[in-house]
Chain A
Amino acid sequence: MTMKWVEVGSLEDIPSRGARCVNTHEGRLALFRTADGQVFAIEDHCPHKGGPLSQGIVHGTSVTCPLHNWVVSLETGKALGADEGVVRTVPVRSEGGRLFIALGARAGEAA
């Protein structure tokens, strides 16, 4: 499957230090906007018990899962601290305030 950039909305759609969901055929993704305006997309599925990461508290470039407080890096998708696990990251591109995600890419390839 080839990688394809898909428009999903604008930066303003995501609250600062917050997240929004995007439903795709690859599953539900979560787009995060950090305090300094960076945007990341990862699978909305905690590597621990599948909790919806999009519902967590965003701090720095990490999110804390609402179910059991695992902290996941938005940059690498890896669980931080003592926990081990990784969630798929999805490439994001911003063009003139419009946000695009890359579907059909494998985890980590476009990082």
Chain B
Amino acid sequence: MTEKLVIIGNGMAPGRMLEHLLEAAPGRYQVTIFNAEPRVNYDRIMLSPVLSGEKDYEQIIIHGDGWYVRNGITLYKGHRIEAIDRVAKTVTSSEGVTESYDKLVIATGSNPLIIPVPGHDFAGVLTYRDLDDVNAMLLAARSRAKAVVIGGGLLGLEAAAGLQSQGMEVTVVHLMPTLMERQLDPAAGYLLQKALEERGIKVLTKANTKAILGNGTVEGVELADGTVIPATLVVMAAGIRPNAALGREAGLTVDRGIVVDDAMQTSDPDIYALGECAEVGGRVYGLVAPLYEMARTAAAQLAGDDTVRFVHIDTPTKLKVTGIDVYSLGDFADGDDREEIVLRDASAGVYKRLILKDDRIIGTVLFGEVADGAWFNDLKKKSANVSEMRDTLIFGPAYQDGGAGDPAAAVAALPDDAEICGCNGICKGRITGAIKAKGLTTLDEVRAHTKASASCGTCTGLVEQLMELTLGDAFNRSAIQPMCACTTLGHDDVRRLIAAKSLKTVPAVMQELEWKTSCGCAKCRPALNYYLVCDWPGEYADDYQSRFINERAHANIQKDGTFSVVPRMWGGVTSSAELRAIADVVDKFSIPVVKVTGGQRIDMLGVEKEDLPAVWADLGKAGFVSGHAYAKGLRTVKTCVGTDWCRFGTQDSTGLGIRIEKFMWGSWTPAKVKMAVSGCPRNCAEATCKDVGVICVDSGYEIHFAGAAGLDIKGTEILGQVKTEDEALEHIAALVQMYREQARYLERIYKWAGRIGLDEIRRQIVQDGNKRRAYFERFVFSQKFAQVDPWTERASGKDKHEFRPMATVGLAEAAE
């Protein structure tokens, strides 16, 4: 019979427990989850990257809505459990739902510690626990004003770094003499403070907060010594406290947390507790590795396996602040029975300290260079006697067999049971085993199958080295594909060198970069020509002989050598006069086929090359310019009719589409760029499979990018949402300029974005306003030289030779 399992809380620990349970005992329980937060299970470790803008919420979801549906789990979002009735075996939620249970799991996590100083309840005082806190901080950061973070521990510092990268001026106020004093010794704490100060974060230690100033809303923080720090945002990150209230009210044994045994069982045998709310062996935990261990234990118990028990293991601490590497593990206090080995490199900002007792490592503090952490952790876990290698121990595993600092050798030297991924407790053997057994060749596959490097990601480098060691040549993450047979350089190197060496002609590039052929080939010449057009607007003279025929003749070549002609119809809008002009041209030049294109344009097919200039001249008289349907450039902006006509339209999508097209036409890009603007989420312009798309909503414009509907089919990613047309235009032009400057020739936006990373693009275009404006201005400058209608030029006689035969000979004689 199915038993009823009710879970209170939907954080990472119960999420992981369910994964194990569904694997070990599928179908045994009917599962109901009550989550006080109105959302699914997401990776809280990654809140700091969300705050700093390196990731967004969608990317840190562990279980999407579909997962719950697939596994038949009922999830009540936004339901806080108010009471547990242990006699009736029921729970009741804040929204009035009562559910009975056979087994109950309490996973209510922890609450942030609010220091009860005056003003702690003012608007603008936040904590740092969940996505709501992060969203509130992001909102506050928009003001670009000043923030104070109270607490210089792991969370406080990550919050400070995040807020600072969002443009705020941040001061960290810490009670103790050095930062992260529970994880770092004073020397490493000092280095950390220096590194943060170098980034522009102010740090005040030995600083006791006396009051939060203001009048209902935060205006500043006053310290015990009288110092006043002005601020509009205060983040309390002074620590956490297990959220054991429900357990206490239900009459369970509670000390600091809900007390459980090593089977995660509370004083009531039908009730389990795990995660930050649980206390096991007198300890409460806040890092993810032991919480996952609790999850594994509870799942096994619920599945009927009593052999799995929770065992305490020291967990390494890592700070997730990009560019600052900190690692700490175990016990690092001084003592008479202890010895230490210290390595300092002031110029490189490196500090390493090992604490030994009876020739065994009991603690490690690493700053600046943390790659050997896993190895030290392994020696500590095994309690290995290190007396033999004492002299070189601090230099890491690479030096143990006389090795000379090859990082791959260090990873190769790790034993199979060495822990690689601390978050998920994945050892080296599990990873290499999975790579071999399942034939994994990419990092994503390894993440999917082993979960290694799938949580905080700091071990990604180690995992990649393992893949390299296991797969050999089959995994070559730095493989560079040369542009073509004329060079050994890849596209990225060529682009970099063109800019670095100020190379401004195709022959200069070939000379300076030691091309192997005298004048390139049909692969590299168009690429080089594009790179030079993009990098030196106004200076570089376009080399038409290096352009593909379509861009040389400004029409699309067809299989029989004739061409097709597509005039621009801004936003897909036309008129009777335009249609009449097209009809006249079709008749006059006996154009065999007229067709409507997928991009809302009219295509005239089968035009003889000699006729092109005359066709363009006639079209030009009606106001038509080139539609660039042949170009690696802006093609079309499709639109729907928007608020002008549609009863569902939220914005003037047609107007915006025309505005984008008039602003961006003529720009050359690495590959074609197709856009669309839809007036509402019904998306009639199909904007979500375009290179760049806009979905209008009531509150503004949702900008999409990196879609595809050709060889690959791919929905777009969201770049961000903006309020005005002006902002939309600035974001789109900046995005396209970034793509123009970085992508490889013929690489569509979605491929480029996949390579660069969506986060990086969002960081540069959405979060970093200065970067965005710089891209935008470069685009505007480049357009000054690009917006010349090629059809008008050629109708007036430019490149005559291109369209006329050189001679006609012998035909008359043959006819005789």
A contact residues vs B (CB 8 Å cutoff): 6-9, 13-18, 20-26, 28, 31, 35-36, 49-52, 55-60, 64, 66-67, 69, 71, 101, 103
Q: A57-B545, A60-B518 known; A21 and B805 CB under 8 Å? A: yes
Question: Which among B64-72, B521-529, B632-640 touches the partner chain?
Answer: B521-529
Taking CB atoms, residues of chain B closer than 8 Å to A69 are 522
Query: Which residues from chain A contact B525 at a C-beta distance below 8 Å?
Result: 57, 59
Total of A-B residue pairs, C-beta within 8 Å = 96
**Given A17-B545, A56-B522, A60-B517: A24 in contact with B809 (beta carbons within 8 A):** yes
State the CA gap A8–B526 with chains docked (Å). Answer: 30
Interface residues of B (CB under 8 A from A): 517-522, 525-526, 544-550, 552-553, 557, 559, 561, 801, 805-811, 813-815
Residue of B nearest to A25 (CB): B814
Q: Return the chain B residue nearest A65 by Cβ.
A: B522
CA distance A22 to B811 in the complex (A): 11
A64, closest chain B residue (CB)? B522
Of B519, B807, B814, the residue contacting A22 (CB under 8 A) is: B807
Instruction: Known pairs A17-B545, A22-B808, A28-B805; list 13 more (Cβ under 8 Å).
Output: A9-B806, A13-B806, A15-B544, A24-B808, A51-B559, A55-B552, A56-B522, A57-B545, A59-B519, A59-B525, A66-B548, A67-B557, A103-B810
Docked-complex contact A66 and B549, CB < 8 angstroms: yes
**Bound CA span A15–B807, Å:** 15
In the complex, what residues of A have CB within 8 A of residue B545's CB? 15-18, 57-58
Are B809's CB and A23's CB within 8 A?
A: yes
| The 10 nearest A-B residue pairs measured at CB | A25-B814, A64-B522, A20-B806, A8-B807, A55-B549, A57-B522, A17-B545, A52-B561, A21-B805, A23-B808
CB distance from B695 to the nearest CB of A (A): 38
Q: A6 — which chain B residues lie within 8 A by C-beta? A: 809-810
Which residues in B have their C-beta under 8 angstroms from that of A55? Answer: 549, 552-553, 557, 561
Whether the pair A22, B553 counts as a contact (CB closer than 8 A) is no
Give B532 Cβ to nearest chain A Cβ, in Å: 16
Interface centre among B517, B807, B814, B815 (most CB of A within 10 A): B807
Given A20-B805, A66-B548, CB of A60 within 8 Å of CB of B519: yes
Smallest Cβ distance from A87 to chain B, in angstroms?
Answer: 14
Contacting pair B814 A17 (CB below 8 A) = no
Asked if residues B809 and A8 are in contact (CB atoms below 8 Å), the reply is yes
Please determine whether A67 and B805 come into contact, CB atoms closer than 8 angstroms: no
Give chain A residues whose Cβ lies under 8 Å from the Cβ of B806.
Answer: 8-9, 13-14, 20-22, 31
In whole angstroms, how far apart are the Cα atoms of A26 and B809 in the complex?
10
In the complex, residue of chain A having the shortest beta-carbon distance to the beta carbon of B813: A25
Are B549 and A56 interface neighbours, CB within 8 A? yes
Q: From the candidates B522, B557, B811, name the one contacting A59 in the complex (CB within 8 A).
A: B522
> Whole-angstrom distance between the alpha carbons of A51 and B517 in the complex?
25
A-B contact pairs, 13 of them (CB 8 A): A6-B809, A13-B801, A17-B545, A18-B545, A21-B805, A22-B805, A23-B808, A25-B811, A51-B559, A58-B545, A59-B525, A71-B521, A101-B809
- CB nearest to A57 among chain B residues: B522
- Once A14-B806, A22-B809, A25-B813 are accepted as A-B contacts, the answer to whether A35 and B518 lie under 8 Å apart by CB is yes
| Complex CA–CA separation, A72 to B568 (angstroms) | 35
Cα-based distance from A60 to B525 in the complex (angstroms):
12
- With a cutoff of 8 Å between Cβ atoms, the chain A residues found around residue B550 in the complex are 66
Select one of A9, A49, A57, A67 contacting B546, CB under 8 A: A57
How many Å lie between the Cα of A36 and that of B519 in the bound state? 10
A residues near B519, Cβ cutoff 8 Å: 17, 35, 59-60
Residue in A15, A25, A67 whose beta carbon sits within 8 Å of that of B559 in the complex: A67
Residues of B within 8 A of A20 (CB): 801, 805-806
Task: Give B6 Cβ to nearest chain A Cβ, in Å.
Answer: 64
Residues on the B chain within 8 Å of A51, using CB = 559, 561
Smallest CB-CB separation from B506: which chain A residue?
A: A17
Closest residue of A by beta carbon distance from B561: A52
Cβ contacts under 8 Å, A59 to chain B: 517, 519-522, 525
Interface centre among B525, B561, B808, B809, by most A CB within 10 Å?
B809
- Write the nearest CB–CB distance from B364 to chain A, whole angstroms: 58
Greatest chain A CB density within 10 A among B518, B521, B548, B810 is at B810
Contact between chains at B807 and A9 (CB < 8 Å): yes
**Chain B residue with Cβ nearest A49:** B559
CB-CB nearest in chain A for B562: A52
Which of B522, B553, B810 makes the CB contact (< 8 A) with A24?
B810
Bound Cα distance A100, B123 (Å)? 89
A84 vs B525: C-alpha distance when bound (angstroms): 24
Instruction: Find chain B residues with CB under 8 A from A25 CB.
Output: 810-811, 813-815
A97 to B7, CA, bound (A): 91
Residues of A within 8 A of B544 (CB): 15
Is there an interface contact between B811 and A23, defined as CB atoms closer than 8 Å? yes
Chain A residues, Cβ within 8 Å of B813: 25
- Within the assembled complex, what's the spacing in Å between the Cα atoms of A20 and B772? 45
Tell me the bound Cα distance from A51 to B547 in angstroms: 17
Contact of A24 with B526 at beta-carbon distance under 8 Å, contacts A13-B801, A59-B519 already known: no
Q: Nearest chain-B residue to A35 (Cβ)?
A: B519
- Chain A nearest Cβ from B101, distance in angstroms: 67
CA distance A101 to B808 in the complex (A): 12
Q: How far is the CA of A69 from the CA of B808 in the complex (A)?
A: 27
Closest chain B CB from A49 CB (angstroms): 7
A64: min CB distance to chain B, Å:
3
CA distance A4 to B462 in the complex (A): 74
CB of B670, distance to nearest CB on chain A (Å): 18
Chain A: minimal CB distance from B802 (Å):
8
Chain A residues whose CB sits within 8 angstroms of the CB of B815 once the complex forms: 25
Contacts of A49 in B (CB 8 A): 559
Given contacts A21-B805, A22-B806, A35-B518, contact A57 B561 (CB under 8 A): no
Given A6-B809, A24-B809, the answer on whether A57 and B518 have CB atoms closer than 8 Å is no
